[in-house]
Amino acid sequence: MTDIPEKETVEQREARVREADLRMRESSRQTRQQSLFAKGFDPRTEVSADTRHIVKHLWFIFVLLPFVLGIVAAILIALEKP
């Protein structure tokens, strides 16, 4: 019979800790967001660093690589013809 109150106490404590953690995360998120807005960050127009990184690599794959392969193919074709 004494196990039930202890389990409830532990469960209540865990719930209270989760709630405090959630409040802390929300407060931290709001603080970060306010500091970004204070610096002039507009999430509708700003592009993240991750997006720039991805776009750069896609440009390499779809533009630069085919161009280089085309030049190499043209050179190899020109060398084969007598």
Query: 40 — phi, psi (to 5°)?
Result: 95, 20
Better-predicted residue by pLDDT, 51 or 42: 51
9-40 residue pLDDT tens: 888 888 889 999 999 998 888 888 888 778 77
41 and 1 together in one domain: yes
| DSSP-derived 3-state class of residue 29 | helix
Q: Total structural domains in the chain?
A: 2
Q: Residue 19 has what pLDDT?
A: 92
* Whether residue 56 sits in one domain with residue 40: no
Structural domain that includes position 80: 47-82
Together in a domain, 64 and 80: yes
Task: Summarize pLDDT for 51-81 with one digit per residue, the tens.
Answer: 889 999 999 999 999 999 999 999 999 999 8
What was the pLDDT predicted at 50? 85
Check whether residue 40 and residue 3 sit in a common domain: yes
Same domain, 51 and 26: no
pLDDT at position 7 is 61
